[in-house]
Amino acid sequence: MEKYDLVVIGSGPSGYAAAMRALDFKKKVLLVEKKGVGGAGVANGALSSKTWWELAREAYLFNKNLKRYHIDTPEVNFSEIREEVKRAVAERKEMLEEHMRLLEESNYADLLTFKTGTAKLRSNHEIEIVNGQGTHTIWAENVVLATGSRPRILPDIPIDDKIILSSDGIEHINDFPKSMVILGAGVIGCEYATIFSGFGKTKVHLIDKGDRILPFEDEDVVRVIEGNMERKGVFIHRNSRLTRMEIVDGKVEYELEHEHGENMVYHVEKALISVGRVPNYENLWDKSVDIKLDNRGIDDDETQTSVPNVYAVGDITSDIALVNVGELEGRYAVERIFGKPKRKLVYENISTIMFLHPEVAGVGLNEIQARQKGISYKVVSLDYSCIPRAIAKRNTQGFVKLLVTNDEDMKILGMRVVGNHASSAIQAVALLISMDKGIEELAECVHPHPSIIEGIQECARMLLGKSMFKPEAFKGKLVCKTCCDGVYEDIVF
């Protein structure tokens, strides 16, 4: 029987990161993958959807600039767009595969093994692998489960990935639909509404059971995103409950119950169901392997499951389902197994990006979360129209918002940036949150000019009472307030 120090089941972002970190400890590692290297994070998740978003953004901006010069806009070819997405996915997969092949030809040849097949824990240490060569069992001192997640399926909706699609089925359509309804106004649903409306070929309907999209995000953030969606033709069904969706004569017929009780029937070419994802743990272990579950996935204590030598990372756990979080967990699990992590696994300083119009980057708490926790805080925001780089780019839509503790220390609680280059503005603040630092360092650091991150510096200076622009003068563009028990008061210096 083959024996390994570590067997990693699943080669998505978290599993791949775990296997590569184990090589740093010179351990004998087996990486097992059921489908393709990279998992959903590459094939039909973050990489593919963000490639769609980039191409849609380019098309929207290109058409906008052509109109500026009174030039007719060209047709967008769906097949070419889809092939470009496929090339991006293939490029990343080939890179990961080539990396492993080169490792197997190097000093790591005796340490790294890759197998395709379906793996199942028969005991805490024995793993059965089924593939084209048959069935065989290997022995593992330690196991990392990293089998990811899949789109949530609703039993009453007939998803065929041709007319009614899951997020995995986008690549199966052959042309831009003239109309599409998206069920689910969370991050994924709103990203796909942004993508399809961005190409300008599809009338998008978005079903929202509440009174606004992205209900977990602050109202000022949502206001910008909703306004842009509606200007691009997205029709948002607010306060609506889906009562029926079916395929009729090759198209989608759906019925909504609106907030006042009236029911209405709508017809579109395609539907996209975007109501979250569920972890892939079915048939992953025998009943004799006592791995505990909760209502969101595998229950883990800093990646360790209820079985001491079995760890779980990425979307299969009940923690945050993001690629960067999965990679962090994969590395952390291996460090727990073979070493001693320098610090605990924390999620408070995880940076996130929502690929919308415009993009939204965040780290730490937003105002909704701060109020739910009963935290008294100071909040400062700066409109993009006050930032020279945004003016130069001729795109001043957006703002920077910073939350700090309502005391002399003014330790950073969180930040949101809405607008162009938002994602490039977040990491320094994430570092300060992880270091439990205040804003003094941020205010005094010399930022490059012109850059969007100068807006963050100006926010910090506002809180210290030494900003160049004064909130009293630029009301509406600059905000500097305290919030206690939901009551706002202007900060007066």
pLDDT of residue 67: 77
Cα separation, 365 vs 372, in Å, equals 10
Where residue 41 falls among pLDDT bands split at 50, 70, 90?
confident
Cα separation, 294 vs 24, in Å, equals 32
Cα separation, 81 vs 58, in Å, equals 11
pLDDT of residue 27: 96
pLDDT of residue 446: 78
pLDDT of residue 1: 84
Cα separation, 279 vs 321, in Å, equals 10
Higher confidence at residue 425 or residue 157? 157
Region 399-413 average pLDDT: 94
- CATH class entry, domain 358-490: alpha beta
pLDDT in tens, 291-301: 999 878 898 88
Residue 289 near residue 124, CB atoms below 8 Å: yes
Whether the pLDDT of residue 235 is over 90: the answer is yes
- Report residue 140 as tokens: 């593992």
- CATH class entry, domain 3-44+84-150+278-338: alpha beta
Q: 164-275: which CATH topology? A: FAD/NAD(P)-binding domain (3.50.50)
Whether the pLDDT of residue 11 is over 80: the answer is yes
Whether the pLDDT of residue 361 is over 90: the answer is yes
pLDDT of residue 307: 95
Whether the pLDDT of residue 221 is over 90: the answer is yes
pLDDT of residue 149: 92
Residue with tokens 């008061």: 489
Whether the pLDDT of residue 319 is over 80: the answer is no
Whether the pLDDT of residue 21 is over 90: the answer is yes
- Indicate the SS3 state at residue 115: strand
pLDDT in tens, 441-464: 788 777 788 998 899 999 999 999
Pairing of strands 29-33, 3-9: parallel
Highest mean pLDDT: which of 156-170, 220-234, 475-489? 220-234
Where residue 68 falls among pLDDT bands split at 50, 70, 90?
confident
pLDDT of residue 65: 83
pLDDT in tens, 89-130: 999 999 999 999 999 888 888 999 999 999 999 999 999 999
Buried b (16+ CB within 10 A) or exposed e, 441-457: ebbeeebeeebbbbbbb
Task: Identify any residues that bridge with 361 across adjacent strands, giving them in sequence order.
Answer: 353, 417
- Report residue 477 as tokens: 């563009």
pLDDT of residue 261: 84
pLDDT of residue 311: 97
- Residues whose CB falls within 8 Å of the CB of residue 321, separated by 6 or more in sequence, listed in order: 149, 277, 314, 315
pLDDT of residue 98: 94
Cα separation, 90 vs 83, in Å, equals 10
pLDDT of residue 5: 97
pLDDT of residue 132: 86
Residue 443 near residue 460, CB atoms below 8 Å: yes
Region 408-412 average pLDDT: 92
- Residues whose CB falls within 8 Å of the CB of residue 75, separated by 6 or more in sequence, listed in order: none
Ramachandran region, residue 476 (left: φ > 0; alpha: ψ -120 to 50; beta: rest): left
Percent of the chain scoring above 90 in pLDDT: 73
Residue with tokens 């929202």: 208
pLDDT of residue 317: 87
- Report residue 234 as tokens: 């997205």
Region 370-376 average pLDDT: 95
pLDDT in tens, 134-183: 999 999 999 999 999 999 999 999 999 999 999 888 878 999 999 999 99
Question: Concatenated DSSP letters for 363-403?
Answer: EE--HHHHHHTT--EEEEEEEGGG-HHHHHTT---EEEEEE
Cα separation, 256 vs 240, in Å, equals 6
pLDDT of residue 399: 97
Where residue 250 falls among pLDDT bands split at 50, 70, 90?
very high
Whether the pLDDT of residue 22 is over 90: the answer is yes
Residue 294 near residue 281, CB atoms below 8 Å: no
Region 14-35 average pLDDT: 95
pLDDT of residue 286: 94
Whether the pLDDT of residue 44 is over 80: the answer is no
Q: Where in the chain is the domain with CATH 3.50.50.60?
A: 3-44+84-150+278-338, 164-275
Question: Concatenated DSSP letters for 443-481?
Answer: HHS---SS-TTHHHHHHHHHHTT--SS-TTTSBTTEEEE
Task: Identify any residues that bridge with 7 across adjacent strands, giving them in sequence order.
Answer: 30, 143
pTM attached to this predicted model? 0.91
Q: Where in the chain is the domain with CATH 3.30.390.30?
A: 358-490
Higher confidence at residue 63 or residue 480? 480
pLDDT of residue 295: 78
pLDDT of residue 252: 98
Whether the pLDDT of residue 25 is over 90: the answer is yes
